């Protein structure tokens, strides 16, 4: 477990507020996410479900997309919030998107209504991630 620090408090509060906006009528599993760009700005997203379940979009991807729309391409923190006791990591599809916009050693946090936190690095969540470096015919695999 990780402690909720003053540095993480704004991310926690933003992710919690985003979860309040989740559209989760099918799963009843609201999720909010806050991502912090390198300039300190915070962008949020929530899960948006759909009757055609495959059309559902996760909170992580919505938060990252909000930052991308604002012109950001690199982020240095991500906080997932769910109003349940169990701490929830990002799903596999979100892990791939996270690997696109975060360095491998970036901490990804999961939080809940009890203000508990757990963290992983991007590398821990998705070892040997397929990243843009592979598309550029690079022989170097990202390690930092």
Residue 10 phi, psi dihedral angles, 5° rounding: -60, -35
Rounded CA gap, 40 and 35, in Å? 9
Q: Which token pair is 86?
A: 């169990």
Show the tokens assigned to 68: 């991308």
Q: Would you list which residues are annotated within the binding site for Zn(2+)? A: 58, 91, 94
Which residues are tagged catalytic?
Answer: 60
Torsion angle, alpha carbons of 47, 51, 56, 59, to 10? 0
H-only helix segments in 56-125: 59-69, 92-101, 122-125
Measured between alpha carbons, how far is 22 from 18 in angstroms, rounded to an integer? Answer: 7
Structure tokens at 122: 């991007």
Instruction: Supply 3's token pair.
Output: 């402690």
Q: Annotated binding residues for substrate, as ranges?
A: 47-53
Q: Which residues are annotated as a binding site?
A: 47-53, 58, 91, 94
């Amino acid at each position: 477990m990780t402690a909720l620090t003053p540095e993480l408090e704004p991310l926690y509060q933003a992710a919690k507020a985003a979860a309040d906006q989740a559209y989760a009528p099918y799963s009843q599993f609201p999720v909010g996410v806050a991502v912090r760009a390198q300039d300190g700005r915070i962008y949020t997203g929530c899960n948006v479900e759909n009757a055609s379940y495959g059309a559902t979009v996760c909170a992580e991807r919505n938060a990252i997309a909000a930052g991308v729309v604002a012109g950001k391409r690199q982020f240095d923190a991500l906080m997932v919030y769910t109003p349940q006791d169990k701490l929830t990591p990002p799903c596999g599809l979100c892990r791939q998107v996270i690997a696109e916009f975060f360095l491998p050693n970036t901490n990804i946090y999961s939080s809940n209504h009890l203000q508990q936190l757990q963290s992983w690095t991007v590398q821990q969540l998705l070892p040997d991630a397929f990243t843009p470096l592979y598309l550029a015919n690079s022989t170097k695999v990202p390690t930092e």
